[in-house]
Amino acid sequence: MNWANRLTVSRLGLTILFVISLNSTWEFGHTVALVLFAVAGVTDYFDGEIARRYQYVTNFGRLMDPLVDKVMVAAAFISLVPLNAIPAWAATIIVARDFLITGLRLMASSKGEVLPAERLGKHKTSWQIITVIYFLLLLSIQELRRSDEASIWWSRAWNDGGPVLVWITVGLTLYSGLAYAWRHRAVVATET
């Protein structure tokens, strides 16, 4: 297994540790979760760079890299629901969109077609990660602060800024998914 694929597999392990940490009762569990999510994001960048630079592009990497990315993002959104950061309906839309697009890609693959990622989908992923990091950062700040001085701005950031990010992320997730499905509707049309 080459280094790019090892980083992809390690990201899956980091995602599991992230979920455990975020849902733990450890004293600094949210801060550890933030660090793990950030490290997992860095491995995502480097596995792609290594694969391209050293021509380590493999079928395993083509399949597992985007799949692990989806698992990581889905795990983050689902784990943030019980913490009242993300509404359940928003997490459901985000996870469902990724499942549906993956299904569309599998249908195309069974016909020998490859449906590549598009720029809009990459923007969607960026907003999803920004939203997750925003809430993880606020949870970490809450965990690390020793006084109530920051409570007013923290409450505003959580209650006002958070929902704005969620709406932007959900809107972009829906729009990018519908646009992608519409552009590749021929894949589904030949199945019905």
pLDDT tens digits, residue range 154-179?
A: 999 999 999 999 999 999 999 999 99
Question: What percentage of the chain has pLDDT greater than the value 70?
Answer: 96
Report, at the CATH architecture level, how domain 3-189 is classified.
Answer: Up-down Bundle (1.20)
The Cβ-side half-sphere exposure at 41, using a 13 Å CA radius, reads 15
Of 133, 127, 118, 117, nearest to 42 by C-alpha is: 133
Q: Cβ(129)–Cβ(41) under 8 Å?
A: yes
CB atoms within 10 A of CB 30: 24
DSSP per-residue codes, 82-134:
TTTSS-HHHHHHHHHHHHHHHHHHHHHHHTT------HHHHHHHHHHHHHHHH
Put simply, whether the predicted model's pTM sits higher than 0.85 gets the answer: yes
Residue 123 CA from chain centroid, whole number: 12
Domain residue ranges of the chain, discontinuous segments joined by +: 3-189
The string of pLDDT tens digits covering residues 46-56 is 888 888 888 88
Cα separation, 132 vs 84, in Å, equals: 13
pLDDT tier at 44, thresholds 50, 70, 90: confident
